[in-house]
Amino acid sequence: MIKHIFTNSAGILVSRILGFLRDLLTASILGANIYSDIFFVAFKLPNLFRRIFAEGAFTQVFIPAYAKSNYKISFSSVIFLQFLAFILILSLVVTLFASIITKVIAIGFDSATIDLASPLVAICFYYLPLIFVVTFLAALLQYKNHFATTAFSTALLNISLIVALLISANMDKYTITFYLSWGVVVGGVLQVIVHLIAIKKLHIKFFTTNIRKKQRDIKQSKFYKQFYPAVFGSSAAHIAAFLDTWLASLLVSGSISYLYYANRVFQLPLALFAIATSVALFPTIAKAIKNNDEQKALRFMKKATMILFALLGTATIIGIVFDNFIVWLLFERGAFSSSDTTQTALVLSMYLIGLLPFGLAKIFSLWLYAHEKQGVAAKITMKSLGWNIIFSLVLILPYGIVGLALASSLSGFILLFLTLKEFGYKNIILLLKTQ
């Protein structure tokens, strides 16, 4: 497990370093203004779905169902075709009604800003079908304990966006946002290609036209019954960030960008430690529980919890103490001013308060998913999001953009408390006693 965690962490680190280079260039070239806002809004929706798919719902439901299936190729074929067809149709709908979708995403934008943003929303959304293919293939690779391709392929999106920025650096700001949007799509294509190469090298067969109908119907029914609630149960932090963007569109210009840049820094330790650990840990826990070996599952969870507590706790303290320096070092150049640094640093500190609870909740939620309690996890997440909305509405008036970030962190503590409550006092005692 440690090897797999290291592989995921190394891949995420490479990707995040390139991501920060991308953000550095974006901040320098676009700054924090209406043009950066409209691109971040356009990329927000497919990026939200990407995180839900790649780091949550699909993988956490697909792997246990795939492991239990006696007709794995038939099962994977049907799931692949149904999901891909739905997402392609959804992408076409977004293209046709881009203005309406943009208004929903950023309710505070005026009509002129929506006209600027809607073409970018339509382009960026085609990243979603591409990233679904990546996620599907990644789940098959994870089942075979191959993590390297997925971990390192995320860097390709950042490379694509960096190239787009370098090519368009001397153009007008609105044109740059188009280059960035097409860079998102190109990055998705590159990720699909490297996953197909890995699938071929490992001789993994996942598609057939000879589908066994009876077995297909049984497995499909169980899969979708678990998948829909898992969408909510695995995405608390991401939906909270999306709600922040929605409310931030009501504030002054640049607010969305402050949230974006701060959240990018916040996501580094969350991805590097919590997500890397959960991705590597989940197949092991799912297989152990399938084999009725809960002691083994608890043993791995204890190791993961101790490691995460130390790493995320340290990252929280360092991040809050050096928030201004971190933002200054990463972003303050070109069009990104010292006042932008001050505002982003305040938002970052508020986000970091929730780093530990969000990270630990992700580990303990694996127990629920492995026991196919996606519905329970969904209820927990909905309660957490409900509190997030309440906190946001209370804090946005006195504290503005900083209050939104703090509200997100407070909801993380609610999420962790409810997850531990469902995990159970008995299991907590067993976990602590496990050697």
Of 227, 233, 235, the closest CA to residue 380 belongs to 233
What DSSP string runs through 14-25? HHHHHHHHHHHH
Average pLDDT over residues 205-209: 71
299 versus 208: which is more confidently predicted? Answer: 299
Mean pLDDT is highest, among 12-21, 307-316, 373-382, for 307-316
pLDDT of residue 209: 65
What DSSP string runs through 291-324? TT-HHHHHHHHHHHHHHHHHHHHHHHHHHHHTHH
Q: Is the pLDDT score of 51 beyond 80?
A: no
Q: Is the pLDDT score of 346 beyond 90?
A: yes
Average pLDDT over residues 111-126: 86
pLDDT of residue 417: 95
pLDDT of residue 215: 52
pLDDT classification of 2: cutoffs 50, 70, 90: low
Angle subtended at Cα 271 by Cα 390 and Cα 19, rounded to the nearest 5 degrees: 105
Q: pLDDT tens, 357-414?
A: 999 998 888 888 777 787 788 788 888 888 988 999 899 888 888 998 999 899 999 9
Average pLDDT over residues 304-333: 90
pLDDT classification of 312: cutoffs 50, 70, 90: very high
106 versus 316: which is more confidently predicted? Answer: 316
Q: pLDDT tens, 131-186?
A: 889 988 988 888 787 877 887 888 898 899 999 999 988 888 888 989 999 999 99
Q: Which of 179-183, 211-215, 254-258, 323-327 has the lowest mean pLDDT?
A: 211-215
Of 180, 185, 154, 158, the closest CA to residue 167 belongs to 180
pLDDT classification of 428: cutoffs 50, 70, 90: confident
pLDDT of residue 155: 86
Q: Is the pLDDT score of 430 beyond 70?
A: yes
193 versus 239: which is more confidently predicted? Answer: 193
Mean of all residue pLDDT scores within the chain: 82
pLDDT classification of 3: cutoffs 50, 70, 90: low
pLDDT classification of 299: cutoffs 50, 70, 90: confident
Angle subtended at Cα 372 by Cα 369 and Cα 376, rounded to the nearest 5 degrees: 75
pLDDT of residue 53: 61
Sorted by sequence, the CB contacts under 8 Å of residue 180 that are 6+ apart come out as 26, 39, 43, 161, 164, 165, 168
Q: pLDDT tens, 54-103?
A: 556 677 778 777 777 777 787 888 888 888 898 899 889 988 988 888 88
pLDDT classification of 268: cutoffs 50, 70, 90: confident
Cα–Cα dist 183/163, whole Å: 8
Cα–Cα dist 18/32, whole Å: 20
Of 261, 273, 421, the closest CA to residue 355 belongs to 273
Q: Is the pLDDT score of 239 beyond 60?
A: yes
pLDDT of residue 240: 67
